[in-house]
Structure 1
Amino acid sequence: MPSSVESIEVITLSLPGAKGTVPFGEHHTWYRITGELHADRPALVVVHGGPGATHDSLIGLASLAEDGWPVVHYDQIGNGGSSHLPERSADFWTVQLFLDELDNLLRGLGIADDYVLFGHSWGGILSAKHAAAKPKGLRGLVLADAPASYPLWLQEMDVLRAQLPPGVDDILRRHEAAGTTDTQEYLDASMVFYNKHVCRLNCWPREYLATFMEVYNDPTVYFTMNGPTEFHVTGTLRDFSVTDCAADIEAPTLLLSGRHDEATEAVIQPYHDLVPDVRWEIFEESSHVPHLEEPEHFREVLLQFLKGLG
């Protein structure tokens, strides 16, 4: 497993929209910057979901640069523009690997002393773990549609699955028991859940479809750490939780979720109960991607929080 790079050269970025890579041990992390770093405001670093997805579904956050907030997107190792390592075994793909990568990126871009984290889904629980270490440069934390505990997530998945139309969960469980989750019947039944609790838009946006395509082009990380679907977590994350350290988060924290979210209120509630400085906004017409389902309201809420950081 690559460790954080201690003596990495700081990259000087003079043009908005710069793209590049930061060395990460023997590998590299791809990034994109919109706006100007080291200006009047801290950079908003976007930590995407998955694990094993890409930045694509969150690319719309780049528009915050128009309001003076530099935005950093990156692809986590294993997917997108970052190093792909399909030959690596499960013991390589750890939470610590991705924490090390995030720390390395912050140092490599020279923003470790002044930044805000926006973590979506898996990226949220990863960001919470990062924040619990009390990094001095973290000015604010946004946890969007993010579970605080995968064991709790699995309990809630059973609740949501039981509410699917008659027969759908029976099909899903039959294939899960048989190990045939790669069949078209399982995919079709999965989409009933996804259209209800992941993205409720009739036509999924191109950037969201791009993330799904990236996952299935190289499913190494997603299948290893998560499992075949959002609601059937059989991978190495199934016992991961931050409920033991969420109270250590000192940064002002904004919780975001959809009323129909697969990240139900029960899986987000521990953040609200444990994080000292926290507020929670629920988007009534959204599921797991309110930034796509209610973009105007989402932008308004996020900007209000960012401006309140001082």
Structure 2
Amino acid sequence: MTVSEGMIDVTGGKVWYQLHDEGIVNTPVLILHGGPGSSCYSMQGLKELAKERPVIFYDQLGCGRSERPQNPSLWHIDRFVEELAQVREALSLDEVHILGHSWGTTLAAAYLLTKPVSVKSVIFSSPCLSAPIWAEDQKQNRELLPKDVQQTLLECEQAGRTDSEEYKQATIEFYKRFVCRLDPYPEFLQKGAAYRNPELYKIMWGPSEFHVTGNLKSFDCTSRLGEIHIPALYTCGRYDEATPSSTEYFHSLTKNSHFHVFEESAHMPYVEEPEAYIKVVQTFFRNVDLGK
């Protein structure tokens, strides 16, 4: 396999990309990582897809191996949509599949609604296509936590102490149930923390997955999902913070779409059930390439 990487000029700085290519002439897939500000580090297992097509990862500006400009005005969705278009142009991705995870699905949807040409399909993996729906889902998920954890979260949020160690420890209990259920937590994911940008995340999203206070808090594209006509696949984990009910709802609004739940996963099925995840994604891309 040929692995190449480099930097691409985008609005506000330079972003790092990595291309995995075995020379197979199939439509490439561009991976949009979650966050905002989390990097593609945790998604490296998706290079398995390169057995059938080129796979392109990139770290969005502000995180991972990309530049980290100290300019908060850059951290808004329109600039990230522009960045995606710039990455695609720089890499000459004339025809492409898009696979977005979590915030990456927010970005994918916003990009698709600009009506770009020659996007062959899209995968919305553990989607966040409505911040208000997400927030409501997390309110319900929080009620499944131990009472003392719920109380700690609430007290810290009300007192403005979401940066406290107490709050961070309480959020871990949420993440164990609804983000990644593997125990022990994979060591390689722990190392990935250095690639994140907490400031960017807080500006756009908030202090935690379930307390939405950033500039994305009103994002909701559900009324426009019917405008997406390319083949689409919606996936999530059975215990996902991107709940099966909401994911299926988004699927119901998208005409040419499919829906799949990974039964043993939370928010990271590509880590929690990697073989099953690769199989589902590969099958979808094969069928799209064959016009099925």
Alpha-carbon distance, 1:271 to partner: 2.0
- Residue 78 of structure 2: which of 96, 101, 124 is its match? 96
Whether the aligned pair in 1 keeps the contact of 2:31 and 2:100 (CA below 8 Å) is: yes
Please state whether the residue corresponding to 2:74 is helix, strand or coil.
coil
- 2:26 equivalent in structure 1: 41
Alpha-carbon distance, 1:83 to partner: 1.6
- Residue 181 of structure 2: which of 200, 207, 218 is its match? 200
Query: Partners in 2 of 1:101 and 1:58 — Cα distance?
Result: 20
Please state whether the residue corresponding to 2:173 is helix, strand or coil.
helix
- 1:55 equivalent in structure 2: 40
Whether the aligned pair in 2 keeps the contact of 1:139 and 1:251 (CA below 8 Å) is: yes
What stretches of structure 1 of length at least 5 have no aligned partner? 1-14
Q: Does 1:84 align with 2:68?
A: yes
Matches within 5 A, 1:221-300: 221-300=200-279
Query: Partners in 2 of 1:213 and 1:257 — Cα distance?
Result: 26
Q: Does 1:20 align with 2:27?
A: no
Query: Partners in 2 of 1:192 and 1:171 — Cα distance?
Result: 11
Whether the aligned pair in 2 keeps the contact of 1:56 and 1:210 (CA below 8 Å) is: no
Query: Partners in 2 of 1:269 and 1:25 — Cα distance?
Result: 35
Alpha-carbon distance, 1:26 to partner: 5.0
**TM-score when normalising by structure 1:** 0.89
Alpha-carbon distance, 1:54 to partner: 0.4
What do the CA deviations read for 1:40-93 (whole angstroms, capped 9, x no partner)? Answer: 211110000000110001010011112x211000000111111202x323x431
- Of 289-298 and 17-26, deviating more is 17-26
Alpha-carbon distance, 1:36 to partner: 5.1
Whether the aligned pair in 1 keeps the contact of 2:11 and 2:82 (CA below 8 Å) is: no
**TM-score when normalising by structure 2:** 0.95
Whether the aligned pair in 2 keeps the contact of 1:45 and 1:116 (CA below 8 Å) is: yes
What stretches of structure 2 of length at least 5 have no aligned partner? none
Whether the aligned pair in 2 keeps the contact of 1:197 and 1:261 (CA below 8 Å) is: yes
Query: Partners in 2 of 1:209 and 1:114 — Cα distance?
Result: 35
Q: Does 1:73 align with 2:57?
A: yes
- 1:121 equivalent in structure 2: 102
Query: Partners in 1 of 2:19 and 2:130 — Cα distance?
Result: 31
Query: Partners in 2 of 1:291 and 1:17 — Cα distance?
Result: 21
Alpha-carbon distance, 1:25 to partner: 3.6
Whether the aligned pair in 2 keeps the contact of 1:99 and 1:130 (CA below 8 Å) is: yes
AA aligned to 1:93 is: W
AA aligned to 2:18 is: R
Query: Partners in 1 of 2:287 and 2:153 — Cα distance?
Result: 45
Please state whether the residue corresponding to 1:199 is helix, strand or coil.
coil
Query: Partners in 1 of 2:187 and 2:26 — Cα distance?
Result: 30
- Residue 17 of structure 2: which of 21, 26, 31 is its match? 31
Q: CA RMSD in A?
A: 1.5
Query: Partners in 2 of 1:241 and 1:268 — Cα distance?
Result: 14
What do the CA deviations read for 1:138-196 (whole angstroms, capped 9, x no partner)? Answer: 01101100122001111111100011112211100101111111222211111110000
Please state whether the residue corresponding to 1:279 is helix, strand or coil.
strand
Matches within 5 A, 1:108-147: 108-111=90-93, 113-147=94-128
What do the CA deviations read for 1:224-253 (whole angstroms, capped 9, x no partner)? Answer: 101111011111111111113211112100
AA aligned to 2:195 is: E
- 1:172 equivalent in structure 2: 153
Please state whether the residue corresponding to 1:244 is helix, strand or coil.
helix
